[in-house]
Chain A
């Protein structure tokens, strides 16, 4: 089931400034019981690459907060999702 997030924003707070980020993609993972979200303010970093921020969210905790990702296996999963997105340019991908 696909749910769209077009038009929704994630707000990043950098110092005193608030930066609005577009939501690029989302997916779930039953293994970790978490959802993941990728977002970007379209900023180009000094290495000429675009920054994509990725955070996780635990619906079980009910705190509605985004968390960092520190688990290598989670990171690997994100890479696979992006690879598949690049390959197929499809909206729904199973990795």
Chain B
């Protein structure tokens, strides 16, 4: 071997690099790294030589032989191949591919426009297949050629070795040139090979992509045909359903939550099949409904079928907003706190009720909402009957036992059952149903439900307002034929100047300089007489007076669209550009009044719908938490829960839209006292008032805005509670009923009455506490355990264990509590409506007190009979301790203390601690029954006594 013979690879292997491996193995790796094939190592000569004791030097040479001419030819061929693929305008296979792509695109368009596919389209798809096959075969040819070239290249490189063995007759310069030539050729060869390979792979990729596209198209085409849809419709449905979040949400509703929560690879074959079947079923359900309602959007159909949030198909960022555990807790707490605050329990809130404005009156939401919904329901049913091909709403929702407006606990317990609305709003509302709201109780034509989404209606109105009405045309209409001076752009001119004698004398003497104060921080008052005089001066011009009056009349006769256009122009500040200045000033107050009236009406509608809806949401939450529900029932309630949330959130969105608009008006019109105190549905929109938690309020309001923007129903409802709870501290006007009562009875301090009337809520809270903290009889449980009977078994068997007959005290007491509550509310309403005088009212109250007292004694007796019976079968049962407790509960003032001082009744807490063991021996139902009856007794007694005393005082004063 010549010294000049150049190795294709050389290097040094260090001992530590070997790490127990064979040197040849490492050389093979190095060859591979440098792009040499190593399938047959015998094609190479590998020479090892020692450098020192530790390191080994190696050289790799090629063995094969061929001549330079062949090498050049082959290199040229590779170059040509590379150029043909990489640089030429279009190679044959590319042209074929392009044609195939074009054909597929064309087919895609054609198919989308056709209702039914036909043989022609399928034939065309097949022709694409044929084209593809041709391209594939061409590519295969190139691949084959490329492999051949690779083999030849091995031979060429081997010839290099031989060439270097006969270098004696060449000069050193020629040898170096030869070396460089070979090195360059090898480099070029490697580069070409890699490029060709890449190009072939790229073409293969294109073919695969085309194949996938074609297969999808074929697949969509066949599926669309099977479902009786055109491809466009099918793709639209599929695209909507393809959103993972949305599909998961639907699948969760179908009870497949466990499966979809697993990773795909963790799912069993059976689970995968189940998912596949479920997805196909969903597709079929949506398709079937779509065929009957093809004028509705897919989202609406999905919403109607599964009650899922269809906005999930978008990546909803708001859902990713970090919400701390504390925030969530706060939401829940505020929900509860709001109720208590509204009720007006002075121990829990800083709220102070105030008088309703003169132009407002109380309205019972229960009857209000029912009336409205009744008419609305009738309208829906009537419209549904008229429609052909109507689809019945899912029967499941009809069967849900969510409390209706009329008997909803929420309405009874919360002061929100009475809202204060303007008389005008009330009249309007009673005349017509609440528009654009779905009704849960009615079996209706789904077409109607789907078409009744308020947002669409709102946005339509907006478009109509802005697109069809021009402010300048209205301005012309308002001022046509009137002589009105345009705004003086240079300066204003004063007229009718008057100055007091003292002031002119002072000016003459020139004794003083003056500070002119035009922003009076202090409140300034002046008699109306002076201002009337001033006004008369101003309007002494007949021209001006008549023109102003005419403009005002013309404004009133504008239709709502025109007024809305002026309002929008006023809000965005462009009104003054379109109108003479003086007209602008005049119209401001008219526009503001119009706007506030309109908002008042809209907000009233929203609250009328929202209040019962929130009640139902809470009822749903309670049912979902506490009741034993089957999976189907649970899913049905969850769906209903979502629908209610959607409904509530749409009302809330509208309320806040109006609220924002109101604030905007206040900002613009802070000098206009007409709008200083804008009152609507129980809220003061008064900028002058400050909230205790202004920062929190701002934060929650901003979040609520985002939730509204993102249509996040659950978030909207939750944050609504947070915001409203804060508002309520300053702005909320609670039920005016109690105030009215105080007025009727001549009471000066109504706080105690409020306290008394809220006892029912308190008593229920106590009972809930007992349930939550579970004062279950642990001792009794032990006894039962000894007999292998659980408390659950016992409860289920209605206490028929060991001849122990359950009197079902709760069933005995609860209806009574309900009766008392209903009767008391009825009495209040009668009194309030003037249908009953106060003497009759108090007599009725006495009867209620008597009945509740008797009921307590009955419950006590029944309970003791029950427990005495049981103690006969169990000598260890502490019957005397239990009896002592029940006597205390039924007849001492313990419960009075509990009721009056809840939630921190010291006497009661102490007693509970002392008698803890005895309490544990009392079965839960008995304990609750005694509690309930005695609390009812205490409650009625407090209210009755207090009112009687105050009435006596009032009579004394009159005498």
**A residues near B, CB below 8 A?**
1-6, 8-14, 19, 21-37, 39, 45, 47-55, 57-61, 63-70, 73-82, 84-86, 89-95
CA distance A23 to B540 in the complex (A): 22
A1-B537 CB under 8 A given contacts A24-B503, A66-B526: yes
Chain B at the A interface: SS class: mixed
Q: Are A3 and B516 in contact (CB-based, < 8 A)? A: no
Q: Is the CB of A3 within 8 A of B537?
A: yes
Q: How far is the CA of A67 from the CA of B532 in the complex (A)?
A: 15
A-contacting residues, B653-699, CB 8 Å = 671-674
11 A-B contacts (beta carbon < 8 Å): A3-B498, A12-B520, A24-B499, A24-B500, A25-B497, A27-B497, A67-B673, A69-B518, A85-B497, A94-B494, A95-B497
The answer, among B498, B505, B522, B528, for a CB contact under 8 Å with A26, is: B498
Complex interface: chain B residues within 8 A of A25 (CB) = 497-500, 503
In the complex, what residues of B have CB within 8 A of residue A63's CB?
Answer: 672-674
Q: Could you say which of A61, A66, A75 contacts B520, with CB atoms under 8 Å apart?
A: A66
CB-CB nearest in chain B for A57: B531
B513 with A48: CB separation less than 8 A: yes
Most B C-beta atoms less than 10 A away, residue of A11, A26, A55, A86: A26
A82 to chain B, nearest CB (A): 8
A29 touches B495 (CB 8 A): yes
Asked whether, in the complex, the Cβ of B515 is within 8 Å of the Cβ of A50, the reply is: yes
Contacts of A6 in B (CB 8 A): 500-501
Q: Quick check: B535 and A31 within 8 Å, CB to CB?
A: no
A88 to chain B, nearest CB (A): 9
Q: Which residues of B contact A51 (CB under 8 A)?
A: 514-515, 517
**In the complex, B89 has a CB within 8 A of chain A:** no
**Which of B502, B512, B519, B531 contacts A69 (CB under 8 A)?**
B519
Note all chain A residues with C-beta closer than 8 A to B544: 30
B585, A33: Cβ atoms under 8 Å? yes
Asked if residues A70 and B518 are in contact (CB atoms below 8 Å), the reply is: yes
Whether B586 lies near A3 (C-beta < 8 A) is no
3 closest A-B pairs by beta carbon, nearest first, are A59-B535, A35-B534, A69-B518
Separation of A58 and B540 alpha carbons in the complex (Å): 14
B531 touches A68 (CB 8 A): no
Q: Assuming A28-B537, A67-B671, what are 20 further A-B pairs, CB within 8 angstroms?
A: A3-B533, A8-B526, A12-B522, A24-B503, A28-B534, A30-B493, A49-B512, A49-B515, A51-B515, A52-B515, A52-B516, A59-B534, A63-B674, A65-B673, A70-B518, A77-B494, A89-B504, A89-B508, A91-B498, A93-B497
* Pick from B519, B522, B585, B586: contact of A14, CB under 8 Å: B522
Q: In whole angstroms, how far apart are the Cα atoms of A6 and B499 in the complex?
A: 9
Asked if B491 CB lies within 8 Å of chain A CBs, one says yes
Residues of A within 8 A of B525 (CB): 10-13, 66
User: Does B264 make an interface contact (CB < 8 A)?
Assistant: no
Residue picked from B503, B513, B544, B585, most chain A C-beta under 10 Å: B503
- Nearest B residue to A10, CB-CB: B526
- State how many angstroms separate the Cβ of A9 from the closest Cβ of chain B: 8
User: Could you tell me if A28 and B548 are in contact, using CB atoms closer than 8 angstroms?
Assistant: no
Asked if B589 is at the interface (CB within 8 A of a chain A CB), the reply is: yes
On whether the beta carbons of A55 and B497 are closer than 8 Å, the reply is no
Q: Which residue of A lies closest to B502 (CB)?
A: A22
B582 interface hit (Cβ, 8 Å): yes
State A52–B531 Cα separation when bound (angstroms).
18
Residue B321 lies at the interface, judged by CB distance under 8 Å to chain A: no
Whether B504 contacts A91 by the Cβ 8 Å rule is yes
Tell whether, in the assembled complex, residue B512 and residue A50 are in contact, meaning their CB atoms are under 8 Å apart.
yes
Complex contact B488–A31 (CB within 8 A): yes
Output the least CB separation between A40 and chain B (Å): 8
Q: Shortest distance in angstroms between B583's beta carbon and chain A's nearest beta carbon?
A: 9
- Contact A30/B538 with A25-B498, A60-B548 known, Cβ cut-off 8 Å: yes
Residue numbers in B under 8 Å from A76 (CB-CB): 491-492
CB distance from A69 to the nearest CB of B (A): 4
Residues of B within 8 A of A5 (CB): 498, 500, 530, 533
- Alpha-carbon distance between A85 and B498 when the two chains are bound, in angstroms: 9
Assuming the A-B contacts A5-B530, A31-B485, A60-B586, are A13 and B523 also in contact, with contact meaning beta carbons closer than 8 angstroms in the complex?
Answer: yes
Q: Tell me which residues across on chain A come within 8 A of B534, comparing CB atoms.
A: 3, 26, 28, 35, 37, 57, 59
Given A1-B540, A10-B526, decide whether A28 and B494 contact each other with a Cβ distance below 8 A: yes
Docked pose: A63 CA to B588 CA in angstroms: 14
Residue of B nearest to A3 (CB): B533
| A28 to B72 Cα, complex, angstroms | 106
Size of the B side of the interface (Cβ < 8 Å), in residues, is 61
By beta carbon, the residue of chain A nearest B495 is A28
Asked if A11 meets B526 with Cβ closer than 8 Å, knowing A28-B534, A95-B494, the reply is yes
Residues from chain A with a CB closer than 8 A to the CB of B513 are: 48-50
B538's nearest neighbour on chain A, judged by CB, is A28
CB-defined contacts of A47 to chain B, threshold 8 Å:
515
Given contacts A24-B503, A28-B537, A68-B518, are A10 and B524 in contact (CB under 8 A)? yes
Task: Check B90 for interface membership: any CB of A closer than 8 A.
Answer: no
Q: Which residues of B contact A48 (CB under 8 A)?
A: 513
**Min CB–CB distance B569 → chain A (angstroms):** 19
Within the complex, the shortest CB–CB distance from B550 to chain A, in Å, comes to 13
Whether A2 touches B581, Cβ cut-off 8 Å, given contacts A13-B525, A50-B515, A89-B508, is no
Give every chain A residue within 8 A of B519 (Cβ-Cβ): 68-70
Q: Is B467 an interface residue (CB 8 A)?
A: no
Contacts of B674 in A (CB 8 A): 61, 63
Cα A5 to Cα B529 in complex, Å, equals 10
A12 touches B523 (CB 8 A): yes
Quote the shortest CB–CB distance from B154 to chain A (angstroms). Answer: 93
Bound together, the chains give a CA A71 to CA B536 distance in angstroms of 23
Complex alpha-carbon distance, A84 and B581, angstroms: 26
B501 touches A27 (CB 8 A): no
A62 to B224, CA, bound (A): 69
Q: Is B527 an interface residue (CB 8 A)?
A: yes
- Given A14-B522, A52-B515, the answer on whether A73 and B535 have CB atoms closer than 8 Å is no
Q: How far is the CB of B545 from chain A (nearest CB, A)?
A: 10
**Does B242 sit at the interface, judged by CB under 8 A?**
no
A69-B519, A81-B494 known; A31 vs B538 contact (CB < 8 Å):
no
> In the complex, are the beta carbons of B494 and A33 less than 8 A apart?
no
The minimal Cβ–Cβ distance linking B672 to chain A, given in whole angstroms, is 6
Complex Cα spacing A57 to B508, Å: 28
Q: Would you give the shortest CB distance from B886 to chain A, in whole angstroms?
A: 59
Residues of A within 8 A of B531 (CB): 35, 57, 59, 64, 66
- Asked if B582 contacts A55 (CB within 8 A), the reply is no
Q: Nearest CB to that of B584 among chain A residues? A: A33
Cα distance A64–B492 when bound, in Å? 23
Within the complex, the shortest CB–CB distance from B596 to chain A, in Å, comes to: 14
CA of A5 to CA of B485, assembled, Å: 29
Most buried by A among B488, B492, B510, B535: B492
B517→A52 contact, CB < 8 A? yes
Name the residue on A nearest B487 (C-beta).
A31
B504 — nearest CB in chain A belongs to which residue? A89
Q: Once the chains bind, are B515 and A1 in contact (CB under 8 Å)?
A: no
User: CB distance A31 to B582 under 8 Å?
Assistant: yes
When chains A and B are docked, how far (Å) is the Cα of A32 from the Cα of B522?
24
Within 8 A of A (CB), among B871-897: none
Query: A37: shortest Cβ distance to chain B, in Å?
Result: 7
Give the CA-CA distance A6 to B414 in the complex, in Å: 57
Residues of A within 8 A of B473 (CB): none
Roughly how many angstroms separate A14 CA and B524 CA in the complex, as a whole number? 9
Given known contacts A5-B498, A25-B503, A52-B515, is B491 in contact with A13 (CB within 8 Å)?
Answer: no
Q: For the complex, is B42 an interface residue (Cβ under 8 Å from A)?
A: no
B497 touching A50, Cβ below 8 Å: no
Query: In whole angstroms, how far apart are the Cα atoms of A12 and B398 in the complex?
Result: 65
Contact pick for A59, options B496, B512, B538, CB 8 Å = B538
Chain B contacts for A67, CB-based, 8 A: 671, 673
Q: Are A45 and B515 in touch, CB under 8 angstroms?
A: yes
Of chain A, the residue at the smallest CB distance from B508 is A89
- With A32-B492, A49-B515, A53-B520 given, is the CB distance from A22 to B500 under 8 Å? yes
**Is B630 part of the contact surface with A, judged by Cβ < 8 Å?**
no
> Is residue B507 contacting chain A, with contact meaning CB distance below 8 A?
yes
